[in-house]
C-alpha cells in the first residue's frame, strides 16, 4: 500500500503520461510534490517501484513504466483517495 505522498506522485505520473505521452522530469516531479530535493523524488520512486506499482530502468528516468495493477489493488487505491 502506498503512503499519501507516494500515491500523489503515482497519480501524477499516470496523469502526466496520459496527457503528454512521456514521463515527467525529476524537476517537474519535484515542483509538483513541492519538495526541495530531487533525492526525495528518487527515494519515493524507489519505494513505489519496490511496492510493484512502477518499473524504472536504470539511468533512463523518463522511461518509467506504470505496471498494470490487479483489480484488488485498484480498489485499494480508490479507497485510499476517498
pLDDT at residue 56, as a whole number: 78
Q: How far is CA 24 from CA 13, 16, 71, in A?
A: 7, 7, 26
43 has pLDDT over 70: yes
**4-81 is a CATH 1.10.10.10 domain:** yes
Chain mean position to CA 25:
12
pLDDT at residue 68, as a whole number: 64
Question: For the segment 8-32, what is each residue's pLDDT rounded down to a tens digit?
Answer: 999 999 899 889 988 898 899 999 9
pTM of the complete model: 0.76
The answer to whether the CB of 23 falls within 8 A of the CB of 63 is yes
Where do the structural domains in the chain lie, given as residue ranges? Answer: 4-81
**Which uninterrupted H or E stretch holds 1?**
none
Amino acid at each position: 500500500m502506498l503512503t499519501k505522498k507516494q500515491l500523489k506522485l503515482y497519480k501524477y505520473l499516470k496523469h502526466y503520461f496520459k496527457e503528454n505521452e512521456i514521463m515527467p522530469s525529476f524537476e517537474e516531479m519535484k515542483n509538483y510534490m513541492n519538495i526541495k530535493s530531487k533525492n526525495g523524488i528518487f527515494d519515493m520512486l524507489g519505494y513505489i517501484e519496490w511496492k510493484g506499482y512502477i518499473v524504472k530502468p536504470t539511468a533512463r528516468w523518463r522511461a518509467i513504466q506504470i505496471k498494470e495493477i490487479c483489480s484488488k489493488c485498484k480498489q485499494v487505491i480508490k479507497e485510499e483517495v476517498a
